Amino acid sequence: DAGVTQSPTHLIKTRGQQVTLRCSPKSGHDTVSWYQQALGQGPQFIFQYYEEEERQRGNFPDRFSGHQFPNYSSELNVNALLLGDSALYLCASSLAGINSPLHFGNGTRLTVT
């Protein structure tokens, strides 16, 4: 049973470019959340998708957008990259319901130069 898979594992982009990160949830899960983890910090919530809609959003600018597909997989898009966007981006999946634990992927390491 595959867990949460994210691609790519590493990515290097130039300031001003756009990037797309991908996530496949754990089998049976229907909710996907994205977190940004800066070096030496805890993960920060970006947004959450359920039934192909953004359900919750953290304090991130509109440059951060996402999508969820009918098969529950998800993409995170970041436009106009800034140096400060360099971080580990974590995807977490779960089954809708308040007692369902989050399962995290290993993340995508984004470096903006």
Residue type at 60 in one-letter notation: F
CA distance 47 to 56: 5
Site size with other proteins, rule: CB under 8 A: 32
User: Which of 27, 100, 111, 113: binder of other proteins (CB under 8 A)?
Assistant: 100
Query: Which of 75, 73, 56, 55 shows the shortest CA–CA distance to 65?
Result: 75
Q: Which residues, 6+ apart, have CB-to-CB distance to 44 below 8 Å?
A: 35, 36, 37, 38, 58, 59
User: What is the Cα Rg of the chain in Å?
Assistant: 13
Residues of span 11-70 touching other proteins by CB under 8 A: 31, 33, 35, 40-45, 48, 50-51, 55-56, 58
User: Which of 64, 72, 87, 107: binder of other proteins (CB under 8 A)?
Assistant: 107
Q: Which stretch binds other proteins (CB under 8 A): 20-28, 63-71, 72-80, 98-106?
A: 98-106
Q: What residues line the site for other proteins (CB under 8 A)?
A: 4, 31, 33, 35, 40-45, 48, 50-51, 55-56, 58, 90, 92, 94-107
